[in-house]
Amino acid sequence: MPKPIVLHIGEPIKYNQDFYENEFCKRFQVVQNDCPDRATFVQALKDEKYGNFSAIYRPHFQTGGEMGDWDDELISLLPRSVRIFASAGAGYNWADVEALGRRKIWYANGAGASDEAVSDTALYMVLSVFRNFTRAQLAARTCDPEKFTACHKLCATISANPRGHVLGIVGLGNISKKLAYKAKMALGMDIHYYDVVRAPENVEKELGATFHPSLHSLLGVSDCISLHTPLNKHTQDLINTEAFAAMKPGARLVNTARGQVVNEEALVEALNSGKISAAGLDVHYHEPQVSKELAAMENVTLTTHISGGALNTRINFELNAMRNILAVVGEDGGFIGEPFTPVNKKAFEEASS
């Protein structure tokens, strides 16, 4: 029996050679996409260039996006044999996972691989916005004694310890549960959260987390908001002018999720007016372009979408996606089980019932 085909998009694997050769390639014939853009990829699908493949494997999210978004156009061209799209990345805004689910195709993300790195980065941002570390670093880097002294004095009057302040988490998933734990244990913060689905009682108890039934209720009590929601049509511009208006005066905002969850113009206005006192942003609305207005503000900590960017994350993204495919696709190319980290279970199950 021929081995089921896996369509590999993006760069080859780099870290898990043994597993790849001895487990993955033993079960699957891996075919590498060589189409450099959407037009050629669309044509390749129409021509059935890659045959009746059973899975799509994207081990690195920095590459493998040459075909653009996986929308209805691309998804409708997939062969009926596809069972799963397993990708690196905790986020998955490049794929319409509901549309995949409707075609009985699982989408499995890199959940678990980047939890540690992203929650560490969010914790760093939280500390930075309370303590004005970016302002101090910018002043130190001027090597100007006057600026040094001015900032030394100013920071002592405008900074605060996070301890006893409310950290408001939007979206309680694997990453933000870790952040909640770290912020509670290391910084002594009070954890509040909003999510469309309330967490089980034991999770709330373990984190000492208070649930809010609406975003605005959470915004009204939080001293620092940290965003952990996927980007989709419901969450684009979620933090807009109305949301800033609902925040406590002087609150802070941290975003390690996706740039487009925050309306950048509204953010600039909220910072300029002093409605919020600081922001920490790893992700940006027009990435890789950073807002020049935000970049000019000393109370804004900025990084280059590196929150998950640790070697440990990349190693586990590769492995996680292979394991997901192995769990789903059988020797005959049929379904044998569920992925470990599905994100479209509901849509998949509705299509299967």
Positions that interact with ligand O=CC(=O)O (CB under 6 A):
89-91, 110, 114, 308
CB nearer ligand O=CC(=O)O, residue 81 or residue 236: 236
Residue 168 or 173 with smaller CB distance to ligand O=CC(=O)O: 173
d(CA 282, CA 254): 8
- Which strand (E) or helix (H) includes residue 280? strand 276-281
Work out how close the CB of 330 gets to ligand O=CC(=O)O at its nearest, in angstroms, rounded to a whole number: 28
Concatenated DSSP letters of 117-136: HHHHHHHHHHHHHHHTHHHH
Nearer to ligand O=CC(=O)O, 125 or 166 (CB): 125
**From edge to edge, which strands make up the β-sheet containing 29-32?**
29-32, 5-8, 55-58, 84-87, 106-108
Minimal distance, residue 110 CB to ligand O=CC(=O)O, in Å: 6
- CA dist 32 and 255 (Å) reads 34
Torsion angle of the four alpha carbons 272, 231, 215, 281, in this order, in degrees rounded to the nearest 10: -30
**For residues 163 and 286, which CB has a smaller minimum distance to ligand O=CC(=O)O in the complex?**
286
Q: CA-to-CA distance for 217 and 301, rounded, in angstroms?
A: 26
Instruction: Specify whether 198 is catalytic.
Output: no
We find the least distance from the C-beta atom of residue 73 to ligand O=CC(=O)O, in angstroms, to be 23
Paired sense of beta strands 106-108 and 5-8, if any: unpaired
Residue 85 or 244 having the CB closest to ligand O=CC(=O)O: 85
Of residues 90 and 325, the one with the C-beta less far from ligand O=CC(=O)O: 90
- Taking the complex as a whole, the smallest distance from the CB of residue 276 to ligand O=CC(=O)O amounts, in Å, to 23
297-314: burial string, b at 16+ Cβ within 10 Å, e else: bebbbbbebebbbbeebb
Q: Which lies closer to ligand O=CC(=O)O via its Cβ, residue 114 or residue 132?
A: 114
Give the CA dihedral 253, 257, 262, 267, nearest 10 degrees. 30
234 is catalytic: no
Q: Least distance to ligand O=CC(=O)O from the beta carbon of 285, Å?
A: 14
Taking the C-alpha atoms of residue 261 and residue 238, their distance in angstroms, rounded to an integer, is 5
CB of 186 to ligand O=CC(=O)O, least distance (A): 23
The values of phi and psi at residue 30, to 5°, are -95, 125
Helix, strand or coil, per DSSP, at residue 110 = coil
Minimum separation from the CB atom of position 223 to ligand O=CC(=O)O (A): 26
Are 312 and 120 a contacting pair, CB within 8 Å? Answer: no
C-beta of residue 200 within 8 angstroms of C-beta of residue 225: no
Choice among 258, 284, 314, 323 that is catalytic: 258
Judge whether 258 counts as a catalytic residue.
Answer: yes
- Is omega for the bond preceding 12 within 30 degrees of 0, making it cis? no
Catalytic residue numbers read: 258, 287, 305
